[in-house]
Amino acid sequence: MQPPVPGFQSRPFSWPTRVYWEDTDAGGVVYHAQYLAFLERARTEWLRARGYGQALLRDDHGLVFAVRAMRIDFRAPARLDDALDVSVALRQCRRASLVIAQDIHCDGRLLLDAEVKVAALDAGSFRPRGIPETLYEELKSLEQGAQ
């Protein structure tokens, strides 16, 4: 396990990204499915900042996380060259699942909010399994109430 980023727990997690040509449709607006990639990358970097990269979870703990359900509200479009901030907040940590709230902002404007339900799976069988105790305790300490 890598050490967590100092002060991480005391501040919200936000992952910056930029909109490129490959993210947009012919009109220069972000294609709706691309938002899923932005959200996924932010969740991955949130875990990495805690010291749990995806490869480490799979190789050392036999654990993978998989999206089980997602609710997305598209509020405003992102466009070519926009600088986005993608946030991650853990709403609920259970023994074998997480509920994560995510937002995407551009210049302080809310573009999208989502609730992502994630299942903990055995890396070999892809069957549900418990989150390893150390990670579970750390995630549980990051839980934020529904807002």
**What distances in angstroms separate CA 55 from CA 1, 51, 65, 117, one per listed residue?**
11, 11, 11, 20
Q: Which residues are catalytic?
A: 25
Antiparallel, parallel or unpaired: β 13-18 and 97-106: unpaired
Q: Where are the beta strands (DSSP E) in the chain?
A: 13-18, 63-74, 83-94, 97-106, 109-122
Per the CB < 8 A criterion, the answer to whether 117 and 101 are in contact is: no
- Helix and strand tally (H, E) in the chain? 3, 5
